[in-house]
Amino acid sequence: MNKIKVYVGMSGGVDSSLAAALLVKQGYDVTGVYMKNWTADLPGVKCPWADDLADAKRVAVQLGINFKVFDFEKQYKQKVVDYMIDEYKNGHTPNPDIMCNQEVKFKLFLNTALEDGADMIATGHYARVFNTESAVILDSKQADFRHDDSKSDSLYSAELADAQTSSNSQESDLKSSGQVDSVSSSSITTNSASATTNGLSLSPIILSDHLQPEFNKASGPLLDPARSRSDGMNGEGLLLNVSLLKKAVDENKDQTYFLYRITAEALSKTLFPIGEFTKPEVRKMAEERGLTTAVKKDSQGICFVGQVGIRDFLSLYVDSKPGEIIDKKSGKTLGFHEGAIFYTFGQRHGLDIGGGMPYYVVGKNMEKNEVYVTTDLNDETLWKKTINLGNLHWINQAPGVGEYQIRVRHRAHLINARLNFKNDNVILKLDNPERAIAPGQSIVIYNGEICLGGGIIV
């Protein structure tokens, strides 16, 4: 069998450099690809793309792999930059990194690579792919847990526990027969909630307790690359070839928050070689291999222009229009700003309101170009215990009603939330209120270590 051809997105940083090196060592047919997404300089700041390209080329030469440049600048401007600017104009707080992954890296790059002869792609993201080649799952006819308001939470939890016990027994039988071991890609999942809510057909919840095989490296280089997803179950209760997004080993660097809008189809053709390692381990391995990017600092600022703040970037594309900063409680004008577009919900710094207690942004009117602030940290608009999500995306299928963990922003701690559906939106009920929940930002939903998807705050 021919080696699997993998096109690795190489940004010129240490993470993607080591990803390429690991795949080479494992015997893949590796090609490095630099995605030229943005080349424009900004006032006082030179775009680092040329230096990054040179660094990526050097690593490719060190590794002895082919190297290509994919020019996505036009599409990137349309799909990521224009989207970001429009969202800010509407008073929202978008995340361009999430849109970049959705539209460029795991759609445009993936499709271009496949058309160019690749079997799979790889990136230097801190995340993991879990491919269930033959996940045993309880048939929905045997375990039909339809959750409705007439059924108590305690009873529902008991049913889930019974299902999990049954699944554990199946897993034990398989292990004793030698069909499953600690590094097998086969896994046991449980149809813990096959629900119908407001006309929506909801898929089984996959219990992450049964998705714990540990991979110390990416899949082997001679595996069949034709991995596809099968929707639903067959008559015997088998869910075949499902690709799941799993959190990275390094909790501090985990990037699944930025990847929640990826599709299962894209995941089935993606490798994340460094997802099993911590950042210090990545740097150490890069140094041991003599990679020229081993000590290169991580990029900061906006994902595509480097060391530039969002306010400086937006000022190039929108007209600055002075407006009033108003105390929410008294209605008094406290000062003036250069444009409501530059402020986000919960913001404290950059208001330039002198004296007294610090002020926080608690609202803005884009039509009137007004920003509303308060010194009251207990202001009800600063804290949310119920969050409404729209523009939903599920990596596989929608989860059932129930308890999950959510991340309200990158690197925020996972918190518990109860998920329910209302029309086309998701309603999240939190155990404790969260501060500064800004419209336009994403909230990502997890079941244990598995990232299910998420939506955008409305």
Residue range 145-174, pLDDT digits in tens: 223 333 333 332 333 334 344 434 444 443
pLDDT confidence band for 310 (50 / 70 / 90): confident
Token pair 């496949």: residue: 114
pLDDT confidence band for 425 (50 / 70 / 90): very high
pLDDT confidence band for 303 (50 / 70 / 90): low
pLDDT confidence band for 300 (50 / 70 / 90): low
* Class of domain 1-127+247-314 (CATH, top level): alpha beta
Share of the chain above pLDDT 90, in %: 64
For 380-399, the pLDDT digits (tens) are 889 999 999 999 999 998 99
Domain 383-457, second-level architecture: Beta Barrel (2.40)
Determine the pLDDT at residue 57: 98
In this structure, the number of other CB atoms found within 10 A of the CB of residue 405 comes to 17
Give the helix/strand (H/E) hosting 245.
strand 242-246
Contact at 8 Å (CB) between 210 and 189?
yes
Provide the mean pLDDT of the chain: 80
Least confident of 195-209, 243-257, 407-421: 195-209
User: Between residues 151 and 261, which one has the greater pLDDT?
Assistant: 261
Residue 230 has pLDDT above 50, yes or no: no
The alpha carbon dihedral of 70, 73, 74, 76 has a sign of: positive
pLDDT confidence band for 133 (50 / 70 / 90): low
Determine the pLDDT at residue 307: 56
Residue 347 has pLDDT above 70, yes or no: yes
For 24-49, the pLDDT digits (tens) are 999 999 999 999 999 888 777 788 89
In this structure, the number of other CB atoms found within 10 A of the CB of residue 48 comes to 18
Determine the pLDDT at residue 143: 31
All CATH 2.40.30.10 domain ranges in the chain, comma separated: 383-457
Q: Average the pLDDT over 207-232 and give the result.
A: 33
Determine the pLDDT at residue 176: 39
Token pair 């222009």: residue: 305
Residue 305 has pLDDT above 60, yes or no: no
User: Between residues 258 and 178, which one has the greater pLDDT?
Assistant: 258
Determine the pLDDT at residue 45: 77
Determine the pLDDT at residue 150: 33
pLDDT confidence band for 308 (50 / 70 / 90): low
Residue 282 has pLDDT above 90, yes or no: yes
pLDDT confidence band for 1 (50 / 70 / 90): low
Closest CA to 134 of 186, 198, 208: 186
Closest CA to 389 of 423, 361, 353, 416: 423
pLDDT confidence band for 353 (50 / 70 / 90): confident
Determine the pLDDT at residue 43: 76
Determine the pLDDT at residue 11: 95
- Concatenating the DSSP letter of every residue in 326-395 gives EETTT--EEEEES-GGG--TT--TT----SSSPPEEEEEETTTTEEEEES-TT-GGGEEEEEEEEEEEES
Q: What is the largest distance, in Å, between two alpha-carbon atoms of the chain?
A: 75
The half-sphere exposure of 284 on its side-chain side, counting CA atoms within 13 A, is: 5
For 45-84, the pLDDT digits (tens) are 788 899 999 999 999 999 999 999 999 999 999 999 999 9
Determine the pLDDT at residue 145: 29
Determine the pLDDT at residue 313: 85
pLDDT confidence band for 101 (50 / 70 / 90): very high
Residue 240 has pLDDT above 80, yes or no: no
Fold of 315-374: SH3 type barrels. (2.30.30)
Question: Which residues have a catalytic role annotated?
Answer: 100, 303
pLDDT confidence band for 429 (50 / 70 / 90): very high
